[in-house]
């Protein structure tokens, strides 16, 4: 489903060219639960951005659902991103002036889905993350764990195939972090491909596949026993 072939991504910083991704090849099939780990600067965020179509590789090919994304223009990429990929960020990235429900509905607004359908799906998504009674609250009125659950509801509202989570528990205390992880894993159990970027080795071990990056290269790629 996700097929990266010899992906290169270079940044020029001053006189130096940094190889954020260096000939990365990776194949992720539908329904997988992959953790990407590595020290700072190893390229894991860049890899996530490339997979999420936010960043374009300088070389190599990226096939998503069999389609070559490296030749798509901005508009098609936006559409592809909207329909196929959900993002969960460390800092939630909720829009502060919008209610939880409006934040969840935002991707549907961008997609031009009719209001009635939007309302129904938003209510269902909020119910799924256990926040029905917080629908009208604004982000500042929610706890960190609740905010991240709103973000998860938003990330999954378009029914994406892949969920990309970048340090989803990084700004949360342990308890709410575990809640969010449990939520993500439940979604993965339902067939959603989950790709998790983290520093935290204990989180990494929860995944069924662990990819370790070092200096922009895949250092190891191991299948783990489920629930280890």
Partner 1 sequence: MTTTDQIRLAWQALTGHRLRTGLMLLAMAIGVAAVVFLTALGEGARRFVVGEFTALGTHLVIVLPGRNETTGGHPPLLGETPRDLTLEDALVLERHPAIRRVAPLNVGSAPASHGRREREVTVIGTTAEFLAIRRLGLTQGRNLPAAAREAHPVALIGEGIRQELFAAGERALGGWLRLGDRRFRVIGVLRSEGYSIGLDIEELVLIPVASAQMLFDTSSLLRILVEARSREDVEGASRAVRRIIRERHEGEDDITVITQDAVVSTFDGILTVLTYMVGGVAAISLVVAGILVMNVMLVAVSQRTAEIGLLKALGASPTQIQRLFLTEAVLLSVMGAAIGLVVGYGAVVVLRTLYPVLAASPPPWALAAATIVALATGIGFGVLPARKAARLDPVQALARH
Q: Which of residues 44-83 bind partner 1 (CB under 8 A)?
A: 45, 49, 52, 54-55, 74-75, 78-83
- Nearest distance, CB of residue 203 and partner 1, angstroms: 21
Q: Which is nearer to partner 1, 96 or 191 (CB)?
A: 96
| Binding pattern for the stretch 104-143 against partner 1, x by CB under 8 A and - elsewhere | --xx-xxxx-------------------------------
Residue 91, interface with partner 1 (CB under 8 A)? Answer: yes
Residue 139 vs 177, nearer CB to partner 1: 139
Q: Does 15 bind partner 1 (CB under 8 A)?
A: no
- To the nearest whole angstrom, how small is the minimum distance from the Cβ of residue 198 to partner 1? 17
The one among 64, 153, 158, 184 contacting partner 1 by CB under 8 A: 158
Of 165 and 210, nearer to partner 1 (C-beta) is 165
Place of tokens 């659902």: 65
153 counts as binding partner 1 under rule CB under 8 A: no
The residue among 96 and 190 lying less far from partner 1, judged by its C-beta, is 96
Q: Are 103 and 112 in contact (CB under 8 A)?
A: no
The DSSP code sequence of the chain is -EEEEEEEEEEEETTEEEEEEEEEEEEE-TT-EEEEE--TTSSHHHHHHHHTTSS--SEEEEEETTEEGGG--HHHHHHHHHHHEEEE-TT----TTS-HHHHHHHHHHHHT--HHHHHHHHHHHHHHTT-GGGTT--GGGS-HHHHHHHHHHHHHTT--SEEEEESTTTTS-HHHHHHHHHHHHHHHHTT-EEEEEES-HHHHTTSSEEEEEETTEEEEEEE--TT-
DSSP string for residues in 13-37: ETTEEEEEEEEEEEEE-TT-EEEEE
CB of 202 to partner 1, least distance (A): 25
Task: Kindly tell me which of 168 and 206 has the beta carbon lying closer to partner 1.
Answer: 168
The CB-based long-range contact list for 221-224 (8 Å cut-off, 24+ gap) reads 221/26
CB of 113 to partner 1, least distance (A): 9
By CB under 8 A, the count of residues binding partner 1 is 30
Nearer to partner 1 by Cβ, of 19 and 82: the residue is: 82
Q: Which residues form the interface with partner 1 (CB under 8 A)?
A: 45, 49, 52, 54-55, 74-75, 78-83, 87, 89, 91, 93, 95-98, 102, 106-107, 109-112, 154, 158
């Amino acid at each position: 489903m996700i097929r990266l072939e010899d992906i290169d991504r270079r940044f020029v910083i001053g006189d130096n060219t940094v190889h954020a991704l260096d000939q990365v090849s990776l194949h992720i099939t539908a329904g997988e639960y992959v953790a990407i780990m590595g020290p700072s600067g190893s390229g894991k965020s860049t890899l996530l951005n490339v997979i999420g179509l936010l960043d374009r590789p300088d070389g190599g090919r990226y096939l998503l659902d069999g389609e070559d994304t490296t030749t798509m223009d901005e508009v098609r990429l936006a559409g592809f991103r909207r329909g196929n990929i959900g993002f969960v960020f460390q800092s939630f990235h909720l829009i502060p002036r919008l209610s939880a429900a409006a934040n969840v509905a935002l991707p549907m607004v961008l997609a031009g889905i009719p209001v009635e359908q939007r309302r129904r799906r938003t209510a269902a998504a909020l119910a799924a993350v256990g926040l029905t009674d917080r629908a009208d609250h604004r982000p500042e009125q929610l706890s960190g764990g609740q905010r991240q659950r709103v973000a998860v509801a938003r990330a999954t509202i378009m029914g994406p195939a892949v969920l990309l989570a970048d340090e989803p528990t990084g700004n949360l205390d342990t308890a709410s972090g575990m809640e969010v992880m449990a939520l993500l894993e439940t979604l993965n159990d339902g067939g959603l491909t989950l790709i998790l970027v983290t520093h935290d080795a204990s989180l990494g071990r929860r995944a069924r596949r662990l990819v370790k990056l070092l200096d922009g290269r895949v250092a190891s790629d191991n299948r783990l026993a489920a629930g280890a």
